[in-house]
Amino acid sequence: MAEEAINLREQQGEFRKKVREILPEGNLDLCLTCGACASGCPATGLEDMDPRKFVRMVVLGMDEEVMTTPWVWMCSMCQRCIYVCPMKVDIPRMVYLARQTWPRENRPKGILGSCDMALRNDSCSAMGASPEDFQFVVEDVAEEVRETQPGFETLRAPIDKQGAEFFLNQNSREPVTEPDEMIPLWKILHVAGIDWTYGSKGWGGENYCMFLSDDDGWKHIVSTSIKQAEDLGCKTYLNTE
């Protein structure tokens, strides 16, 4: 599924049929066209599209329009539309399926590149930072805090601490381009006395493969991160993203 587009272009209504297969309780036919979804959607109006219009196109079997509109890549998957929908129509899942009909190489280059970068090593960092690079930056920044900031002489930013209560991930841009942005969270955790750790593996907090509708890549990133948390014996996974 991640390697090639789902083939739903053979006849009209195939996308609608697929939606009903994967969303038997997605309430596709219960849409009231009330527009509540569109009123709360940050992407409403972009590319002359909104969630209400998208759903009606699916219901009417307008496959070509549904599977070619670039609007599906502007959806943030925030699920605000489901929250306000009186019938709980699962629009984000339909958007996800529409994204999968695009050939992988034709999907947005920024998301595609970030997904592929995250799959290159066990950091799962969209910036491509290796576990070794991450550990070097974290230790260097933490040492500087201890030496220069009064009151934080004992601050630690642990990596692979066995048995920590919380396993944290991290926006992978920060250790690469904005390392000082990591410090405020460390200070909060330090002052609160929280027992936490990063993992040398799976520390990248974002998952661009999910937004790319790459099921295999999405699963790999989540599995790598969760396995590291489990191997360290952490009780709680804290997603900072």
What is the per-residue pLDDT across 161-189, written as a single tens digit (0 to 9) for each? 999 999 999 999 999 999 999 999 999 99
* pLDDT reported for residue 1: 40
* pLDDT reported for residue 6: 56
Strands in 236-238's sheet, in edge-to-edge order, are 196-198, 166-168, 236-238
CA 15 to chain centre: 24
Tokens, residue 143:
């040492």
* pLDDT reported for residue 13: 77
At 16, the pLDDT band (50, 70, 90 cuts) reads confident
Is pLDDT at 3 greater than 80 in this prediction? no
Q: Could you read off the pLDDT of 73-94 as tens digits, one per residue?
A: 999 999 999 999 999 899 999 9
Q: Where are the domains of the chain?
A: 14-105, 110-238
CATH number for 14-105 (one of 1.10.1060.10, 3.40.50.1390, 3.40.30.10, 1.20.1740.10): it is 1.10.1060.10
Burial of 25 (0-12, 13-18, 19+ CB in 10 A): exposed
Torsion of the alpha carbons at 231, 179, 112 and 21, rounded to the nearest 10: 50
The mean per-residue pLDDT over the stretch 120-143 comes to: 95
At 27, the pLDDT band (50, 70, 90 cuts) reads confident
The Cα 110–Cα 112 span in angstroms is: 5
